Amino acid sequence: MTAVRQNTNLPEMDEAGLIVDPAQWTEEAANTIAEQLKVAPLTDNHWLVIYSLRDYYKKFGVAPAMNSVCHRLGKEKFWVHDLFQSCLNAWRIAGLPNPGEEAKSYLNDM
């Protein structure tokens, strides 16, 4: 997997547009990624999801089931998908690393 820097204001990213080192993520990077993905401007609901994903990843080291994120936040099943245009975009904007091909296909299909 080759890491690339798509924008000098962004941390190093892989070819799938996922940050290589989540510790280098910033809110500024999230805003830039959201703009590139045409998800901007980020609202309070976006930030709620972003920090929920980051907290879950920090605790468990894996991607959560997005419908459980929706449920935990008291929202409908496809709420995250609707906010970010895909669950994979939510993962990208949250600055989390490549979760693997199986998880990426799941996140992209949601």
Give the CA angle between residues 17, 21, 22 to the nearest 5°. 90
Distances (CA, A) of 36 to 60, 68, 81, 92: 28, 27, 17, 11
**Tens digits of per-residue pLDDT, 53-109?**
999 999 999 888 898 999 999 999 999 999 999 999 999 999 999 988 888 887 776
Rounded to whole angstroms, how far apart are CA atoms 33 and 77? 24
pLDDT, residue 63, reads 85
pLDDT, residue 91, reads 95
Specify the DSSP class assigned to residue 6: S
pLDDT of residue 6 exceeding 60, the answer is: no
> 0.85 cut: is pTM over it?
yes
